[in-house]
Amino acid sequence: MITFYVMVDDLQSYFDKAVSLCATQVLSPMEMEVKDSKFAIAGFIDPEGNYIGLFKPIKTRQKGGG
């Protein structure tokens, strides 16, 4: 099994397409925040058994403005 992540511009669209092409949904699209970074992730297993994660950074406002 190979595992890798791909940065995409439209996470939901790519995830839906993969599932429609027989990928097995493992991680539904969700947003996460770690320290000052916010991002969306999702994951699926392709028909050959490889785990593929999708990743999309989410722009956040800078604190303190200036």
Question: Which pLDDT belongs to residue 9?
Answer: 96
- Picking from 50, 44, 46, 45, the residue whose alpha carbon sits closest to that of residue 2 is 50
- Tens digits of residue pLDDT in 21-58: 999 999 999 999 988 899 999 999 999 999 999 999 99
- Domains along the chain? 3-58 (3.10.180.10)
Residue with tokens 């800078």: 62
Sheet holding 37-45, edge to edge: 3-7, 51-58, 37-45, 24-34
CB 6 within 8 A of CB 23: no
